[in-house]
Chains A and B, each alone.
Chain A
Amino acid sequence: MSEQNTTAEGLIRLSAADLAEKLRAGEVTAVEVTQAHLDRIAAVDGGERGVNAYLHVNAEEALAVAAEVDAIRAAGGAEAEALHYLAGVPIAVKDLIVTVGQPTTAGSKILEGWHSPYDATVVERLRAARMPILGKTNLDEFAMGSSTEHSAYGPTRNPWDLDRIPGGSGGGSAAAVAAFEAPLALGTDTGGSIRQPGAVTGTVGVKPTYGSVSRYGAIAMASSLDQIGPVTRTVLDSALLHQVIGGHDPRDSTSLPEPLADLVAAAKTGNVEGLRIGIIKELHGEGYQAGVENRFNESLQLLKEAGAEIVEVSCPNFQYALGAYYLIMPSEASSNLAKFDGVRYGLRVLPEEGPMTIERVMGATRAAGFGDEVKRRIILGTYALSAGYYDAYYGSAQKVRTLVQRDFEAAFAKADVLISPTAPTTAFRLGEKLDDPLAMYLNDVATIPANLAGVPGLSLPGGLADEDGLPVGIQLLAPAREDARLYRVGAVLESLLEAKWGGPLLAQAPDLAAAQALEAQEAK
């Protein structure tokens, strides 16, 4: 086993925790681990049928960081002792998060070629932990979408079926982890952009409590909803990564002041005995694919058998959550995206004719630089904030937000953790919903309430849907600041499911390299 795991093919399939152990034991070097992932990226990410999870690969810097870790470890002594547990374990970063030394595009033409002069706080923390950054991952432009098809740099493909979407907006991070192009990735979740891609790619994704992870350096879509979180293949890996990136940051006023709980310990000491797990009546059943419902019920059964008490809770105001979200999010986005005007950085487009005034340059830049979905949301948000409409739209949406928060409070009075399917369906086909924004928005119906209330959510693989053999996600929700509960319950459910499957769900995924090779053959 150990022999096989130190081959390149074996290394990329290891969890971050296993890699960390092997690195500490000296069974493998950080350079070998990093190179194995870079090789995998080279093998499966590019080309017409490539996954296209990465917008930028940061090979040179990643290898240099890995080499530093190896040198420190080889030298031994205090510095080696002080190395972070995850030192040398590589990671991919969603291209919405700014990084020095690599481009940051937000998936948009308007930032093509832009290099940030500063690192996001989470990136600083990755660097402090000496985790090599493999590159920047694809996303829907400015994180606006549920399929990664709204990226200005082409869609990402789902490693389970290259003709299907990997979810969004963080499809790149989820696909990279699912395709073994990275053991870990960072995502951002405004309405489900970490959890829904996790669900449809068979990976784990966590949206921490709002304020648990600093947003400094995450290009804002909707400030009051955005949260950075881990994208991994195991619950423990998510806890490990959350522990690296989380905790107070004086540069983010909305960052929580208190220290993080021991999330890793929570993931390692999972237990559901006597725990009340609440099924949210409004978040399953009608509108949910049969195969999704089946896997959801199966998870409930496993938890029950493990000693959890399953209760039903009702959150009647969740029916308004999607509507409120599509007023608050575009309102904040319309304001947050105003800075992209061609004056100080990024794309600048001059009007083809007529006077060269600042207004016309800004207009031409934004017309050329933003894609349709971004424009749609800017227009929606601008309208919702306009004098005379503010109360009816933004104001009402804020009231709904309060009602959703109250629903959560009532539900958490009856249950310690809530549970639902993460997304109503498995991965749909590329292009299937591109021309139907409302159908696209419905993908996030189960994930949005957590963002509106600021509570944490975790999605983990719940098995494959009977009808299409594609991954189904199970979502766990906990009260604000109780992220540890998600890891405690998630780890138990994960181990119960894996025992049932006889290994990780991703072991059942098709052999990507072989599939691509076959397709290439057929194409000839």
Chain B
Amino acid sequence: MSTDTILSFEEAMEKYDPVLGFEVHVELNTKTKMFSSAPNVFGDEPNTNVNEVDLGMPGVLPVVNKTAIESSIKIGLALNCKIAEYCRFSRKQYFYPDTPKNFQTSQYDEPIAYDGYLDVELEDGTVFRVEIERAHMEEDAGKLTHMGGATGRIQGADFSLVDYNRAGVPLVEIVTKPIEGAGSRAPELAKAYVAAVREIVKNLGVSDAKMERGNVRCDANVSLRPHGRERFGIRSETKNVNSLRAVEHAVRYEIQRHAAVLDSGEPVIQETRHWHEDTRTTTSGRAKSDADDYRYFPEPDLVPVVASREWVEELRATLPEPPAERRKRLKADWGYSDLEFRDVVNAGVLDEIEETIAAGATASVARKWWMGEIVGRAKAADVDPGQLGVQPATIVELSKMVEAGKINNKMASQVLDGVLAGEGTPEEIVEKRGLAVVSDDGALLEAIDAALAAQPDVAEKIRGGKVQAIGAIVGGVMKATRGQADAGRVRELILEKLGVTA
């Protein structure tokens, strides 16, 4: 897809210093839209969650969603921002069919939150401070689906369909200041920053924060400059990089691409880039200059948003525990070692483990499943662990089956494969695949008799008190039952049979 030449990352880092910048769009999970009373719901039939306001019918007027303002203030506070006492919305004007009014109502020069920072923890525990320029409110656009082309992009399409369900969904756009000094850790920082933002909005409860649904979307700006130079290079903006891994890869790729362009003596073109998950490359989007004229002017249909200091303090008082403190607490609660906990954090399954524990699993069981089973599968599938779609309840059910001796660990792993393959509930899969542990004592006793008969010398040793020799007999039984016996029960029955107490 991409024909760009790239430099190796190492060589790029030798020659150049990367500067990053992020615009993260967070969809708020308010009941209704930013400016209309239509429901803010994902995944419904196209053009069902719309009313005359969302469709930009003649005569309609917007009304600001107060909950959206509260959520925006909360985000601003969590990002250590100042909250504007008075701010307005503006109209950003451009003709495009996903924008029903042909302007987007957005904050322009008066963001609700500004001048903040976020301390981002890298994998090895290093803390990197990212300065926040602003967090402002705006409305989402509708969704275009380009039909008839090979690529799903507008080029070559015969026509486009538009779904306005998303039009008017409240967004908060979080813009960083230029991030300098990350060096070769830039891709890692990119991922960690977006993960931290996602974690914050999720923790605040203001967004569903599902990247795979576009609740959190990242535009990544990358530029390079030779080491030692202060002036920034020309940047590219890779749009809609919508998973944590993709953010890391996209930044890494753009660094490598920019380095190759600069090495060739050509200037980097200021443009938007499209991210392609399949090839892990970007391609040129549209040329973007700072002179794009959106003819912003203050939205005359809305009154200014006035955030009294009392209100801001009330909201501050409702803020949940910040994620960093939460991590400290969870580590203590769960009793994980430093290493175990860092692995959990780095694997990005903190929330999942918390949910699994909340669903009824013990801390060690939850960790065992996520770290031992699911993270590996996610790596193999090249997705984030949360994207595999494993439900906490499934893990609890599987671990209960193991505890009850209904299946063993090996089988449980197979059942999980079945669940992921969509074969049904764990119960159904155990049934279908015939995985139940053989616990019929009659069947087991037969196998035990056979195993004892096959190894009479071992049986004699056990009778003589050398109970540790029992493994050979148990092994024989397990082999005979093709692993479907409950090893614990087998052991009990053997001892009973031989009249030995353990």
Contact = CB atoms under 8 A, between A and B. Distances in A.
Interface of A: 97-98, 104, 106, 111, 114, 116-118, 120, 215-220, 222-224, 250-254, 331-332, 334-335, 338-341, 343-345, 358-359, 362, 382, 385-387, 390, 394
Contacts of B293: 386-387
A341 B95 contact: yes
A358 B291 CA distance: 23
Contacts of B102: 338-339, 341
Given A254-B303, A339-B100, A339-B102, A106 B58 contact: yes
A458 to B, nearest CB: 24
Contacts of B295: 334-335, 382, 385-387, 390
Contact of B300 (A106, A223, A334, A362): A223
Contacts of A223: 300-301
B453 interface: no
A359 B57 CA distance: 20
A331 B297 CA distance: 9
A250 B63 contact: yes
A220 B60 CA distance: 8
Interface of B: 52, 55-64, 91, 93, 95-97, 100-103, 160, 162, 291, 293, 295-297, 300-303
A344 B56 contact: yes
Nearest to A117: B52
| Residue of B64, B97, B103 with most partner-chain A CB within 10 A | B97
Contacts of A97: 59
30 contacts: A104-B58, A111-B58, A114-B58, A118-B52, A216-B60, A216-B61, A217-B60, A218-B59, A219-B58, A219-B59, A224-B300, A253-B62, A253-B301, A254-B300, A254-B302, A332-B297, A332-B300, A334-B295, A338-B93, A338-B103, A339-B58, A344-B56, A344-B57, A358-B96, A362-B95, A385-B296, A385-B297, A387-B291, A387-B295, A394-B297
Nearest to B292: A387
B288 to A, nearest CB: 15
Q: List the 6 shortest-distance A-B pairs measured between CB atoms, nearest first.
A: A338-B102, A223-B300, A224-B300, A385-B295, A217-B59, A219-B58
A332 B303 CA distance: 15
A335 B104 CA distance: 11
A167 B160 CA distance: 45
Most buried by A among B102, B296, B301: B301
Given A359-B95, A385-B295, A344 B55 contact: yes
The secondary structure that dominates the B interface is: loop
A362 B96 CA distance: 10
B59 A335 contact: no
A215 B63 CA distance: 12
A156 B139 CA distance: 41
A232 B390 CA distance: 69
A359 B59 CA distance: 24
Nearest to A142: B58
Contacts of B291: 387
A218 B57 CA distance: 11
A358 B99 CA distance: 13
Contacts of B56: 339, 344
A97 B60 CA distance: 11
Contacts of B58: 98, 104, 106, 111, 114, 116, 219, 339-340, 345
A89 B271 CA distance: 62
A128 to B, nearest CB: 18
Nearest to A357: B154
Given A220-B301, A223-B300, A339-B102, A116 B57 contact: yes
A219 B60 CA distance: 7
B386 to A, nearest CB: 37
Contacts of A118: 52, 57
A507 to B, nearest CB: 37
A215 to B, nearest CB: 6
A335 B297 contact: yes
* Residue in B62, B297, B303 with the greatest tally of chain A CB atoms within 10 Å: B297
B61 A390 contact: no
Contacts of B160: 358
Contacts of A114: 58
A250 B64 CA distance: 10
Of A106, A220, A394, chain B has the most CB atoms within 10 Å of the CB of A220
Contacts of B303: 253-254
A301 B59 CA distance: 43
B59 A120 contact: yes
A335 B293 CA distance: 14
Given A339-B100, A387-B291, A394-B297, A252 B61 contact: yes
Given A116-B57, A220-B59, A390-B297, 11 more contacts: A116-B52, A116-B59, A118-B57, A217-B60, A223-B301, A251-B61, A335-B295, A339-B101, A343-B97, A358-B160, A382-B295
A509 B56 CA distance: 43
A225 B321 CA distance: 47
A345 B100 CA distance: 11
A370 to B, nearest CB: 14
B310 to A, nearest CB: 20
A479 B35 CA distance: 31
Contacts of A117: 52, 57
B297 to A, nearest CB: 5
B357 to A, nearest CB: 44
A215 B57 contact: no
B268 to A, nearest CB: 24
Contacts of B91: 335
Contacts of B55: 344-345
Given A253-B64, A335-B91, A359-B95, A345 B57 contact: yes
